[in-house]
């Protein structure tokens, strides 16, 4: 054992050398951290950093009916967004605050880039005129405002709003490049300036700060196909104007956390919303998707009790090759029915209706779910003159259709009919304390043939955007929606539904 006198025998330079080595080590670590931080901030390095900003998605996810590109557009969008930001330190909280140089709007400004709104009253659903221009000085409804819960939100018309959208393609880093119509070179912008006006009331413009306040401590989940992703990204773009969220995604879901109000926005991929498997079943071989129409998709059902609001989206994948199973029996198929001697009992339209009844019933009977389910009705596509792969086109549409020019889509109409019927059947089976609402946008959005990317699906400067010498249109997307664009209205409708449910019902509990 060393005595106290032993310390005197240690050379005098030992302490300084030890101190120097500690300082040197700390300094080296600091330099390393600074260099690493600089590299991470300057650009994405590998999939880990990319997934931080763009969400971690299961790579087995079949994310689009159409080709979705290599995803490089998201990185380009983030770089463009980052170049327009200044980060300053908030001395009060020590937190980094992001200031946008794109306009006068700053985080916390509840105008959401709109300011005073000018509304042009129109007739025939979408026709600009010189009649009666009104100034609306409100910035969206207050959470405590009275709510007209009897007003039908889905019967109305499109009105022109010259103040423009709630965000721009350059002010949101998370939108999918295929829906970045302006970034992909679309020359017109008027499609961004139409707002939905219910016939008997006003649909308040979206107020991001008030939305986060309303959803304080809650989680909203978008579950479904690539159109669900389209709507989720629209909501994120709107909210991004007031707060940059923390990405907490993983391989099972995308998750964006807004710290100011502890609000979580989630997306989970589910092509058909019912159980699916590629495994062989009876006379259906391996490879083709088998859909158990009477079983919900278990991949997201396990998370349902954690959600306060669920927005469901499906329908378009029922045009894809698949086998339909009901009560453990193959009853039909889409683009697949090898034995013509067997009678097909269920076609793709009927299968969609059954799947809707199944998933909504699962929500309304889940023993641990007390939230609100919003079933967004079938989103119409606008492939005129053919299907997406047979020459259908929406090229050249620059404003909403008027009644006399509206092209009826028989497939959209029957899909909507089956969806509504399935929803109504499910409502009668409810056993829990949750609630389901049909957000019926199909008719209103049948007028918005102008709101799709069309041929402007990528930033490729050499892409073909005009019809060829034989009159055939170029490849295009007339299913998903430009961002910003009409899809933002879906989230204004969601906000109004939530106001009615969370605010009006508290004020009038009867």
Please state the φ and ψ torsions of residue 117, each to the nearest 5 degrees.
-105, 130
Active site residue 449: no
Strand partners, 310: 221, 373
Q: Which two tokens stand for residue 223?
A: 């579950």
Q: Which two tokens stand for residue 4?
A: 């106290």
Which of 474-477's residues contact partners 24+ apart within 8 Å by CB, and which partners?
A: 474/395, 476/393, 476/394, 476/395, 476/452, 477/66, 477/178, 477/388, 477/452, 477/453
Per residue in 238-255, is it b (16+ CB within 10 Å) or e — as a string?
Answer: bbbbbbbbebebeebbbb
Helix or strand run (H / E) with residue 99: strand 96-100
Task: Give the up-direction half-sphere exposure of residue 102: CA atoms within 13 A in the CB hemisphere.
Answer: 21
Q: Which two tokens stand for residue 90?
A: 């908030």
Measure Cα distances from 9 to 5, 15, 16, 17, 232 in Å. Answer: 7, 13, 15, 16, 71
Which listed residue (100, 226, 314, 434) is catalytic? 226
Active site residue 5: no
Measure Cα distances from 503 to 220, 434, 497 in Å. Answer: 17, 16, 10
On whether the CB atoms of residues 56 and 250 are closer than 8 A, the answer is yes
| CA–CA distance, 365 with 277 (Å, rounded to integer) | 24
Specify the residue for token string 């699916």.
Answer: 276
SS3 41: helix
Which listed residue (275, 416, 452, 480) is catalytic? 480
Among candidate residues 451, 300, 271, 413, the one with its CA nearest the CA of residue 362: 300
Which residues make Cβ contacts (< 8 Å) with residue 222, sequence separation at least 6?
228, 229, 231, 232, 235, 265, 266, 267, 268, 311, 313
Sign of the C-alpha dihedral, residues 445, 116, 453, 319?
negative
Which residues make Cβ contacts (< 8 Å) with residue 382, sequence separation at least 6?
394, 397, 407, 409, 448, 449, 452, 478
Concatenating the DSSP letter of every residue in 126-144 gives S---SS-EEEE---S--TT
First to last CA, the chain: 82
Active site residue 477: yes
Tell whether omega for the bond before 409 is within 30 degrees of 0, i.e. cis: no
CA angle 456, 255, 419 (to 5 degrees): 65
Which listed residue (207, 381, 477, 488) is catalytic? 477
Catalytic residues: 226, 477, 480
């Amino acid at each position: 054992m060393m005595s106290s006198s032993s310390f005197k025998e240690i050379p005098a330079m030992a302490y300084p050398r030890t101190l120097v080595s500690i300082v040197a080590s700390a300094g080296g670590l600091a330099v390393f951290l600074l260099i690493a931080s600089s590299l991470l901030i300057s650009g994405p390095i590998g999939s880990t950093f990319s997934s931080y900003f763009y969400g971690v998605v299961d790579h087995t996810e079949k994310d689009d009916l159409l080709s979705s590109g290599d995803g490089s557009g998201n990185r380009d969008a983030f770089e463009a967004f980052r170049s327009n930001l200044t980060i300053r330190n908030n001395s009060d909280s020590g937190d980094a605050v992001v200031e946008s140089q794109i306009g006068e709007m700053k985080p916390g400004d509840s105008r959401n880039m709109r300011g005073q709104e000018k509304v042009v009253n129109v007739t025939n659903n979408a026709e600009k005129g010189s009649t009666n221009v009104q100034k609306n000085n409100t910035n969206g409804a207050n959470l405590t405002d009275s709510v007209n819960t009897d007003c039908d939100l889905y019967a109305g018309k499109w009105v022109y709003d010259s103040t423009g959208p709630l965000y721009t393609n350059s002010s949101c880093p998370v939108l999918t490049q295929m829906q970045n119509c302006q970034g992909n070179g679309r020359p017109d912008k008027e499609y961004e300036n139409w707002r939905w006006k219910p016939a008997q009331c006003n649909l308040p413009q979206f107020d991001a700060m008030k939305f986060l306040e309303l959803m304080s401590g809650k989680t909203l989940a978008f579950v479904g196909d690539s159109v669900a992703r389209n709507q989720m990204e629209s909501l994120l773009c709107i909210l991004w104007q007031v707060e940059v969220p923390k990405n907490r995604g993983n391989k099972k879901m995308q998750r964006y956390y807004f710290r100011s109000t502890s609000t979580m926005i989630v997306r989970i991929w589910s092509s058909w919303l019912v159980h699916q498997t590629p495994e062989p079943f009876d006379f259906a071989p391996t490879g083709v998707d088998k859909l158990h129409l009477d079983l919900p998709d278990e991949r997201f059902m396990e998370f349902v009790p954690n959600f306060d609001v669920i927005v469901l989206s499906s329908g378009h994948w029922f045009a894809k090759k698949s086998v339909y199973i009901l009560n453990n029996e193959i009853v039909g198929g889409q683009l697949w029915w090898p034995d013509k001697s067997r009678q097909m009992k269920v076609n793709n339209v009927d299968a969609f209706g059954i799947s809707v009844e199944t998933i909504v019933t699962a929500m309304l009977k889940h023993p641990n779910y007390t939230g609100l389910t919003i079933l967004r009705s079938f989103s119409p596509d606008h492939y005129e003159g053919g299907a997406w792969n047979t020459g259908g086109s929406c090229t050249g549409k620059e404003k909403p259709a008027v009644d006399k020019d509206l092209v009826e889509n028989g497939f959209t109409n029957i899909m909507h009919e089956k969806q509504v019927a399935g929803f109504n059947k499910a409502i009668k089976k409810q056993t829990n304390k949750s609630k389901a609402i049909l957000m019926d946008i199909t008719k209103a959005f049948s007028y918005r043939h102008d709101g799709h990317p069309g041929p402007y699906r990528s930033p490729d400067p050499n892409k073909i955007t005009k019809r060829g010498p034989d009159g055939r249109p170029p490849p295009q997307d007339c299913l998903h929606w430009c961002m910003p664009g009409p899809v933002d209205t879906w989230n204004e409708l969601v906000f109004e539904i939530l106001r009615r449910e969370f605010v009006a019902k508290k004020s009038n509990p009867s």
